[in-house]
């Protein structure tokens, strides 16, 4: 397994190129991913990022790394809105739903947990929340002030971007130049307290109508949005760790500001590899709350998205996502979803077929095939190539089944183990739930037995009546070469 670790290459957003992955401590990986803000239910686009990092987490685990995967939950913090004002989005949601802030957070945390389970995502090593780490945030802010990169104004604390730029490169991740930014910024409202337009809030003085407030050396207030990630990643992974991930849309300003905060307090970039997952598109445009073109993960499971005429299983949705690279945009369309549904069924069917294959000698290179699975994933987690290679395996399996190819017993065992690993463990496609089928099986055996009797007697009327009746109940009967099956 060590050899496979050595070959892993990751695209580092910080450098804009792929580079060999070398963890700080051999065999161990520290990974931080920006999680959801719990002021509403996560939509499908949000899920794509988490599913992609779940894939990355799973593959790192499979390679034998000891991974500490930290994904935060934002349950407090003031963000900057379009008017340039600091806003507590959770408090706003709480007022709208006439609940307390923590009720809002809890409500959506429960839903998010449920979604993780449904989409077969491995739980992170820890899911810290911002409210549990106010003290740590305050301490880092104090350190930044001590280092001279932040200043207090009227109970609020701002990051001093101009001062910072004298010592560090603000824009190292996003490639932005601050002097250009100034001219580009469309409006500059409500920024009287800031010394410079690019300064951002580390701590914001409490408003009279804030639902959550905390004590600080600067008076009662709220942490800024960016500081929580710095506090939590530092606490659980150290001042510098291996991988920092998140959605592409967090690159600027969120991740840029995280780097500034870490450099401003500890003097180093928090992560050596920055990874950014791309967006999910609907009709060619990014799925987003503000565009209103979003649907919820549960809606696609029960067919109520209003966009597609049918429902799809979580495995199909996940498989669909795995057919696109995490750094590419992905378009959700009816036709593509249908394609994935059939392709997924074919893959699983092929894997099942492998089990009952006769063995002689191998007519194809099984070791090379398995090697291609690793090669794909080692190349910056290229899941679509992995899927293509899995289909190559399915093709060979079917050839063997039809007697047009052969496989040795040892190769069969190896291939079965490898496919099991890559389909279930790495891609995270959950084994199908057969609970209902086990109850139904004896009944179906009886029904199909009766139908077979009718068929033997050439009583097509009865035979077809049974088939049509079952079809209405959602059970499809297939008359194969070696008997009748159903699903």
Q: List binders of RNA among 432-471 (CB under 7 A).
A: 455, 460, 463-464, 467
User: In the set 30, 91, 221, 247, which binds RNA (CB under 7 A)?
Assistant: 247
Residue 176 or residue 235: which is nearer to RNA going by CB?
176
Q: Nearest approach, Cβ of 258 to RNA (angstroms)? A: 11
Instruction: Single out the segment in contact with RNA by CB under 7 A; choices: 162-170, 172-180, 419-427, 434-442.
Output: 172-180
Q: Which 292-351 residues touch RNA, going by CB under 7 A? A: 294, 320, 323-325, 328-331, 333, 335-336, 338-340, 342-343, 345-346, 349-350
User: In the set 98, 154, 166, 290, which binds RNA (CB under 7 A)?
Assistant: 290
Instruction: Single out the segment in contact with RNA by CB under 7 A; choices: 90-98, 131-139, 249-257, 412-420.
Output: 249-257
- DSSP track, 274-303: EEEEPPEEETTEE--TTTT----HHHHHHT
Q: Which 207-236 residues touch RNA, going by CB under 7 A? A: 225
By CB under 7 A, residue 79 contacts RNA: yes
Query: Which of these, 88, 89, 80, 84, lies nearest to 190 by C-alpha position?
Result: 84
By CB under 7 A, residue 175 contacts RNA: yes
By CB under 7 A, residue 286 contacts RNA: yes
Those residues whose C-beta lies under 8 Å from the C-beta of residue 11, and which sit 6 or more positions away, are: 17, 18, 275, 327, 380
Q: Which 27-46 residues touch RNA, going by CB under 7 A? A: 34-37, 42-43, 45-46
Q: Which 176-205 residues touch RNA, going by CB under 7 A? A: 176, 180-181, 183-186
User: In the set 150, 394, 419, 448, which binds RNA (CB under 7 A)?
Assistant: 394
Q: Nearest approach, Cβ of 447 to RNA (angstroms)? A: 14
Residue 85 or residue 125: which is nearer to RNA going by CB?
85
By CB under 7 A, residue 169 contacts RNA: no
By CB under 7 A, residue 252 contacts RNA: yes
**Contact pattern for RNA over residues 400 through 419, marking x by CB under 7 A:** --x-----------------
By CB under 7 A, residue 285 contacts RNA: yes
């Amino acid at each position: 397994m060590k050899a496979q670790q050595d070959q892993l290459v990751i695209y580092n957003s910080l450098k804009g190129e792929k580079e060999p992955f070398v963890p700080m401590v051999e065999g161990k990986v520290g990974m931080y991913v920006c999680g959801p803000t719990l002021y509403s239910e996560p939509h499908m686009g949000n899920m794509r990022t988490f599913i992609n990092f779940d894939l990355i987490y799973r593959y790192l685990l499979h390679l034998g790394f000891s991974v500490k995967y930290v994904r935060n939950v934002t349950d407090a913090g003031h963000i900057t809105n379009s008017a340039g004002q600091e806003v507590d989005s959770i408090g706003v949601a709480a007022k709208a739903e006439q609940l307390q802030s923590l009720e809002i957070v809890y409500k959506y945390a429960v839903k998010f947990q449920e979604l993780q389970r449904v989409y077969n995502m491995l739980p992170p090593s820890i899911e810290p929340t911002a409210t549990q780490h106010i003290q740590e945030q305050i301490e880092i802010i104090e350190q930044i002030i001590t280092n001279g990169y932040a200043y207090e104004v009227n109970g609020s604390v701002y990051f001093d971007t101009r001062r910072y730029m004298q010592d560090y490169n603000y824009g190292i991740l996003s490639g932005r130049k601050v002097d250009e930014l100034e001219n580009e910024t469309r409006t500059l409202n409500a920024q009287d307290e800031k010394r410079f337009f690019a300064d951002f809030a580390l701590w914001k003085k409490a408003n009279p109508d804030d639902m959550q407030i905390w004590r600080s050396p600067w008076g009662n207030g709220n942490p800024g949005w960016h500081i929580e990630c710095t506090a939590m990643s530092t606490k659980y992974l150290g001042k510098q760790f291996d991988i920092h991930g998140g959605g592409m849309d967090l690159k600027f300003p969120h991740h840029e500001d995280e780097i500034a905060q870490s450099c401003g307090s500890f003097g180093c970039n928090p992560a050596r590899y920055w990874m950014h997952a791309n967006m999910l598109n609907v009709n060619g445009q990014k799925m987003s709350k503000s565009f209103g073109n979003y649907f919820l993960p549960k809606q696609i499971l029960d067919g109520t998205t209003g966009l597609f005429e049918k429902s799809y299983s979580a495995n199909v949705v996940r498989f669909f996502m795995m057919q696109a690279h995490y750094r590419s945009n992905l378009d959700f369309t009816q036709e593509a979803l249908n394609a994935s549904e059939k392709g997924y069924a074919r893959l699983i069917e092929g894997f099942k077929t492998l089990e009952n294959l006769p063995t002689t000698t191998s007519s194809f290179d099984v070791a090379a095939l398995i090697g291609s699975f690793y090669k794909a994933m080692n190349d910056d987690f290229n899941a679509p190539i992995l899927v293509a290679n899995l289909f190559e395996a399915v093709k060979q399996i079917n050839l063997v089944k039809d007697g047009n190819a052969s496989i040795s017993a040892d190769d069969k065992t190896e291939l079965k183990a490898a496919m099991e690993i890559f389909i279930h463990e790495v891609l995270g496609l959950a084994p199908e739930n057969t609970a209902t089928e086990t109850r139904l099986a004896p009944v179906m055996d009886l029904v199909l037995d009766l139908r077979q009797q009718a068929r033997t007697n050439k009583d097509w009327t009865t035979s077809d009546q049974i088939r049509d009746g079952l079809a209405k109940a959602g059970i499809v009967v297939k008359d194969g070469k070696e008997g009748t099956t159903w699903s």
